[in-house]
Each structure stands twice: as structure tokens, then as C-alpha cells.
Structure 1
Amino acid sequence: MKFNKNKRMFLAMYTAMMSTVMLTGFASSTEAQEQSAVESEVSTESSDQEETLDDTQSAGDVGTDWCVSKEVIDVQSGMIENVKIAAVEAKIAYEAKLEEERRAAEEAERIAREKAEAEAAAAAQAEAEAAQQAEKELLASLIFCEAGNQPYEGQVAVGAVVMNRIKSSSYPDTMEEVIYQSGQFSPAMSGWLDRVRANQGYTEAAMQAAEDALAGSNPIGDCLYFSVGGYGTRIGDHLFH
């Protein structure tokens, strides 16, 4: 509107002072300058708007990129943390498994050791009992051969003589060595003793007398000999000295 007003003023002045040709040239020149100025202003505003729009879009793009990158970083960090936690839990579980296996192995070893010890103790006990039974049978067989027809006290006395000899330093230290010592007990020398032992031919009284003698029963003191004749403490047909 300002442009049109100025134009009318210049036209009036031109009519009054100048020729139609000069006014027309002046007006055309002025109009061209004005049009150029307006177009330049419009172009500048459009450029500014485009720059503003670009800046806004760029800012939005940057913000969007920043948000996406942060989310990716957060996800990656969470994954790494989960992996670390899983690794720690796996290590704890593995160590717990090893500890459980170690305890199980120790328990199995303890049970096996106790079983072996119990078996060894049982075997030793059985062996000791077998040895004791063999000694009782040996002594019972000798008592039967030497005094099977004598009173019970005389049978115990024969067993006490054998026990006294085992304790004496003048004789062997075991029952078998004492009984089978050369020239001492005639049933052992003749083989009769072995036959009685093999067949368990001793009597119950002879076995009981042997058990009593082994338990410490001793009616003849420290006597080391007995015989049918001679001297000593008489029990039945035997004299103990």
C-alpha cells in the first residue's frame, strides 16, 4: 500500500513538472528498485524460515539420536550387568557343587574307612575267638587224655599245671608249645591228643575244666608237675608238685 501511494505522488509530480516519457522512465526505474527490494526481503525471510526449520529439525534429529543412543547404552549396560550376575551365580553354584562333591567324597571315604575298620576289627575278633576256642579245645583234649577219669578238681588241676608252665620262664610262652614240648605230656607224644582234638572227643567236664583253668582257677598253687606216684598234693590219683 505504501508503494501505491508513493507511486501516485510521483505520477502527480511528473504530470506537473516532467514529460510523460521521463516520468514513465523514472517510475519504471523506481518500481524495479522497489520490486527488487521486496523480492530480496521475501527471499531473506524465506531463507531465515528455512534455516529456522532446518535448525529445529536438526535439533529434533539430534535429540532423537541422543535418546536412541542412551537407550542402546542402557540396554547394553543391563545385558553386561546380567552377564556379570549370571557369571557370579554360576561360580557360586559351581563352588557349591564342588563342596557338595567333596563332602560326599569325604563321607563315602569315612563310611568306607569305618566299614574297613569294623571288618578288620570283626576279623581280628573272630580270629582271636577262634584262637581262644582252639586253645580251649587243646587244653580240654589234654585234660581229657590225662585226667578224664579223675574228679573235676583233678581235671582243673591238670589245666592249672599247663597255665603255670606258660607263665614260667623255664617253659615256652604258648599253650601249644608247652603241651607239645618234647618229653613232657605222653598223650602229645603218642598222637592220642591229636586224635581227640580232631574228633572233639573231649567231654563237657574236660571243656569246663579247661575254661576254668584259663579263667584263673588253680587248686594246686604254683605246681609245674603231676604224676601218679611220688610226692606232692594229691588230687584223685595224681600228685601235684
Structure 2
Amino acid sequence: MNLSRTTLLAGLVAGLLLGACGRSPQECMERAMYFESNRSSRDGMVAVGSVVMNRVESGQYPRSVCGVVAQRGQFAPRIMSRRMDSRSLPLVRETARSVLQGERHPMIGSAMFFHTAGHRFPYDNMHYVLVTGGNAFYEKRKNYLVTQPVPPQPIEGITGWRGW
């Protein structure tokens, strides 16, 4: 097959813009926020979006929002195909747009991982930076550099935990 450089470049640009799944970065970010933060709070959605962007920028994960969100085993099952309830979408859309334009959660830093708040794991390399939106966000560190090894239990009425 003989394709011109222009055709190849156009395909590459389209692939980067739409990601491997054929969706826009906006929709992929919305899906991550919608399914991972349980639409609990804007704070939780921005934290999830910040993790997605940290992964995109890290060089250790796919280099697109859709590539990160659609990566097998990393986010909620069927995240790219499940139906989203339209009642929650206005806030989700606005928050996704804001993160894609550069907003980041101030407490996330370089964290690229999170799990459901309240779950405990036996690993000694999880340095927790924030609990919000039903999730505990953490950085992986060498065990001797972990100073916040266990996230606290969320307190009723408080949307985010910001350290000891």
C-alpha cells in the first residue's frame, strides 16, 4: 500500500486527538471522572482528572487521555462502553473541560494512583496524598520514603483529607 506523507500525518493527528478508542479527550476524561469519582464532588472529579493527566504526561502510560482511560485493568470495568446518566453530565463536562485546560488538584502533586477509600492493601510503598470523592490517592515510593502509609477514614461532611 502506498500512502502519502500527508495522509499518514493526518491519520496520526486524528489518532492522537481521538485516541485509540475513537472518542475525544473530553469524553474520555468525562468517563474517568463519572465512573471513578461516583460523581460525589467536583473535588473528587478534579483529583481523578489530575491522576489521568499525570499518567499522560509521565511517559510510563499511553500519551493520550483516551489511551490512559481505556487502558485495560486500570480504571472501572467497561469504562468506555457503560452508559452515563445525563443528570450528572453538566458538572462532569465542566470539570473535565477545566482539567483538560490545565486545572489540577493542588494536593495530588505527581500521584498517578488511587483506589476506593476504605480499602487497605498490604503494600509498603503507598504514600497517600489525598482522600476525596470516595477515593484515596497515592504516590508509589520506596518504602523508607513513605510517611503517610495509611489513609484515614473519611469524616462525615468533609470532602477532602489533606494530610496529617
Q: Give TM-score, length-normalised by structure 2.
A: 0.57
Does structure 2 conserve the Cα–Cα contact (< 8 Å) formed by 1:147 and 1:155? yes
Higher relative CO (CA 8 A, sep ≥ 6), structure 1 or 2? 2
1:201 Cα deviation from its structure 2 partner: 7.8
In structure 2, C-alpha distance between the alignment counterparts of 1:142 and 1:202, rounded to whole Å = 13
1:169 Cα deviation from its structure 2 partner: 1.6
Aligned counterpart for 2:92 among listed residues 206, 211, 236: 206
Match runs of 1:1-241 below 5 Å? 131=18, 134-186=24-76, 190-196=77-83, 203-219=89-105, 220-228=108-116, 229-230=119-120, 231-241=128-138
Does structure 1 conserve the Cα–Cα contact (< 8 Å) formed by 2:37 and 2:133? no
In structure 2, C-alpha distance between the alignment counterparts of 1:182 and 1:131, rounded to whole Å = 17
Identity of aligned residues (%): 28
1:200 Cα deviation from its structure 2 partner: 6.7
Q: Provide, for residues 194-221 of structure 1, a one-character-per-residue CA deviation record: whole Å limited to 9, x for no partner.
A: 1337x87861111111111111111111
Task: Summarize the Cα distance change of 1:193–1:144 in structure 2 as closer, same or farther, 3 Å threshold.
Answer: same
In structure 1, C-alpha distance between the alignment counterparts of 2:32 and 2:83, rounded to whole Å = 9
1:209 counterpart letter in structure 2 = T
SS in 1 for 2:81: helix
Runs of 4+ in 1 over 6 A off after TM superposition: none
2:49 counterpart letter in structure 1 = G
1:191 Cα deviation from its structure 2 partner: 2.3
Q: Which structure has more strand as a fraction of its residues?
A: 2
Q: Which structure has more helix as a fraction of its residues?
A: 1
SS in 2 for 1:226: strand
1:227 Cα deviation from its structure 2 partner: 1.1
Deviates more, 1:228-237 or 1:207-216: 228-237
Q: Which runs of 5+ in 1 are unaligned?
A: 1-126
1:235 Cα deviation from its structure 2 partner: 1.5
Q: Which runs of 5+ in 2 are unaligned?
A: 1-13, 121-127, 139-164
Does structure 2 conserve the Cα–Cα contact (< 8 Å) formed by 1:148 and 1:206? no
Task: Summarize the Cα distance change of 1:226–1:233 in structure 2 as closer, same or farther, 3 Å threshold.
Answer: same
In structure 1, C-alpha distance between the alignment counterparts of 2:104 and 2:90, rounded to whole Å = 19
1:192 Cα deviation from its structure 2 partner: 4.5
Task: Summarize the Cα distance change of 1:211–1:238 in structure 2 as closer, same or farther, 3 Å threshold.
Answer: same
Q: Matched residue pairs, number?
A: 111
Task: Summarize the Cα distance change of 1:170–1:192 in structure 2 as closer, same or farther, 3 Å threshold.
Answer: closer
SS in 1 for 2:45: helix
Task: Summarize the Cα distance change of 1:204–1:232 in structure 2 as closer, same or farther, 3 Å threshold.
Answer: same
Does structure 2 conserve the Cα–Cα contact (< 8 Å) formed by 1:141 and 1:201? no
**Cα root mean square deviation, aligned:** 2.9
2:82 counterpart letter in structure 1 = R
Does structure 1 conserve the Cα–Cα contact (< 8 Å) formed by 2:43 and 2:132? yes
Q: Give TM-score, length-normalised by structure 1.
A: 0.40
1:163 counterpart letter in structure 2 = M
Higher-Rg member (1/2)? 1
1:131 Cα deviation from its structure 2 partner: 4.6
